[in-house]
Structure 1
């Protein structure tokens, strides 16, 4: 049994990862800023990634630490995430942690990355700067109930009779089901072959954002959504538009949209050497997300 700490234990990914790690036989601590309110599995511990003094007890005796936090809803998210990653990396090194696992973002190194994706890359480096080996899983859009990118897709298809969209709808991406993300995250825990490595993870299909909207519309049983592309629609204007028709806040929407002009596809499948298995197709991932929403509603 491995002693594991999961930060962001109540989030979209963390809330699914905690029970999966416990089912795999690990001893687990779920870190949150309000442990007295935590009612999920595992042992709740208090901690704030912005404050190293709160991390010593949370990380004491931990072998593997999952880093699943970000500040995408803040205007200064790049600075906040950089400080947090550096702080957490130092605390993990001081505690003798053997491995940090981080869920980052896809995007070619040679691409002109958005602020969101640049920040993800910076966090990768800062987490390991104090010497703890970091295992990075880079993903594009994660499809599952509660995921911001998926909720944007679902609500757009559900709420609009037609959509006016910018040119980025033609950008290719490689969506991945949240079930596969959890499978990969569990599979690299305390795995010597994964230490200090970066893996790309994605579903079996490369799709444009337009194709994703069309497939989601078909799976939900709705009418085909007419889509009109316009040559210019800035991230700021797009984010205000999204805030009108979805419940995603303007800052988060703008930061996500700013990344949608960058192609994010898998070019290296080496993760399958460590965690074998066939990833779920996009349409099936959509069906599972919809069923999950119905079961929870």
Structure 2
């Protein structure tokens, strides 16, 4: 018998991942990756693994033994009790860890679920820019990437379609702004699943980006009207020319009760026509009409709501994730950024703050007149490279003592650029939570702002001294 290939599936407990999982087990073994994978039982041809993609070591363990990997991750929802980060910066960290882990484990191909990218890429929304950036990062370490790009996916969960159904359900009449007349290419969830399945191990699609879409090109207004028909509702619509995308974000978020972190980026993207153009005969053409897909999605949602059980949150952790993006001087890397930041900080806060480093690469931050440090960082040399410098948070009075102690700060260079991500992960402060939010959390954001401005000033001086070596734009 032929050996069954192993496919690592991220987001295996999500609405796309769970449906794809059922399709894959017929011919392959699946490594189902989830943040809480250890809580699930393995079954025939399915091995569940807990995997935190914010951790490179966890990503490497998650992909051990995989022949192919499917990437269905998006970080539009907060990942900690306090998240001080833009979703695009968190997406970049997740994709970078996944790509590095895929390279280390010899994965043959990454299949990435993305969104349709309009022809005019100069005015892309933050959401679509992030999708494009993730695609580039996934392929930055040499593993071939096949990208499946879809517009609105018609399914019971997810983001866009549930927002649309809530608008139809909750409003007897809708005043529709200009973006609702934008054309898009909806596709049924089951057709997306088939496209992903047909892409895995398909060498012909290696390194390519393929658009997928259903049999109809429609406006959002037409989708709302047809969804209302499926739901048996009589919803009147009125076209208005004056409601801007900014106002629409607030309107949609209030009516649907969707988190701003999810609704805002999606609404910003609706100004772009999302019509599949770069098509492939084998994977691109969904066969399910919109009305049929909407009916199936609503029926499935009803069944899931009937089965749903109330569950208590298992997380009592007061952790922090804070991510900022900076621009490095020409020729500098993440390793330089980590060392330079420590030295810069010691000069910034004198004489209030004292910063000392020893031969063991342990840096201690102390308040003037106090012997006990408020923060202790230990350079994780074994896990650091020139493009990624990691410092474990190993002590200090501002750090809550825990058995795991996984708090860390990392400096990560974005592949092929001089941009660098500075991220704090899983930090648990010892201060009472409200006091921390009002003081230390805000101080950190201010310090990061000052560091970014300092680097820009440094580059400006170098630019004046050496001449126009390069153009600094969008800083």
How many angstroms does 1:40 deviate by? 7.6
Does the 8 Å contact 1:235/1:254 carry over to 2?
Answer: no
Structure 2 Cα separation of the partners of residues 275 and 2 of structure 1: 21
**Pick from 34, 37, 50: which aligns with 1:35?**
37
**Pick from 136, 139, 144: which aligns with 2:155?**
144
Q: In the alignment, what sits opposite 1:20?
A: 23
Deviations for 1:188-241, whole angstroms, at most 9, x for unmatched residues? 111111211111001011101111101111121111x22233333344432332
Q: In the alignment, what sits opposite 2:345?
A: none
> Structure 2 vs 1, CA of residues 72 and 95 (structure 1 numbering), >3 Å: closer, same or farther?
same
Q: Which runs of 5+ in 1 are unaligned?
A: none
Q: 2:257 aligns to what SS in structure 1?
A: coil
How many angstroms does 1:39 deviate by? 5.1
TM-score (norm 1): 0.93
Q: In the alignment, what sits opposite 2:254?
A: 244
Q: In the alignment, what sits opposite 2:357?
A: none
Structure 1 Cα separation of the partners of residues 257 and 190 of structure 2: 24
**Pick from 29, 53, 56: which aligns with 2:60?**
56
Q: In the alignment, what sits opposite 1:71?
A: 75
Q: 2:118 aligns to what SS in structure 1?
A: coil
**Pick from 14, 37, 40: which aligns with 1:11?**
14
**Pick from 258, 266, 273: which aligns with 1:256?**
266
Q: In the alignment, what sits opposite 1:290?
A: 298
Deviations for 1:23-73, whole angstroms, at most 9, x for unmatched residues? 2x1100111122222358621112122211112221111111011111123
> Structure 2 vs 1, CA of residues 179 and 94 (structure 1 numbering), >3 Å: closer, same or farther?
same
Q: In the alignment, what sits opposite 1:106?
A: 116
Matches within 5 A, 1:144-183: 144-183=155-194
**Pick from 47, 50, 75: which aligns with 1:46?**
50
How many angstroms does 1:278 deviate by? 5.1
Does the 8 Å contact 2:110/2:145 carry over to 1?
Answer: yes
How many angstroms does 1:277 deviate by? 6.5
Matches within 5 A, 1:162-241: 162-223=173-234, 225-241=235-251
How many angstroms does 1:243 deviate by? 2.8
Does the 8 Å contact 2:192/2:286 carry over to 1?
Answer: no
Query: How many residues are treated as equivalent by the alignment?
Result: 293
Structure 2 Cα separation of the partners of residues 116 and 40 of structure 1: 35
Structure 2 Cα separation of the partners of residues 65 and 100 of structure 1: 5
More strand by share: 2
> Structure 2 vs 1, CA of residues 40 and 68 (structure 1 numbering), >3 Å: closer, same or farther?
farther
Bigger Rg, structure 1 or 2: 2
Matches within 5 A, 1:272-287: 272=281, 274-275=282-283, 279-287=287-295
More helix by share: 1
Q: 1:92 aligns to what SS in structure 2?
A: helix
Structure 2 Cα separation of the partners of residues 233 and 40 of structure 1: 50
Compare relative contact order (CA 8 Å, sep 6+) and give the higher one, 1 or 2: 1
RMSD: 1.7
Does the 8 Å contact 1:166/1:232 carry over to 2?
Answer: yes
Deviations for 1:133-152, whole angstroms, at most 9, x for unmatched residues? 00100000000101211111
> Structure 2 vs 1, CA of residues 257 and 66 (structure 1 numbering), >3 Å: closer, same or farther?
same
Structure 2 Cα separation of the partners of residues 242 and 83 of structure 1: 29
Q: In the alignment, what sits opposite 1:127?
A: 138
1:97 is the counterpart of 2:99: no
TM-score (norm 2): 0.59
> Structure 2 vs 1, CA of residues 116 and 247 (structure 1 numbering), >3 Å: closer, same or farther?
same
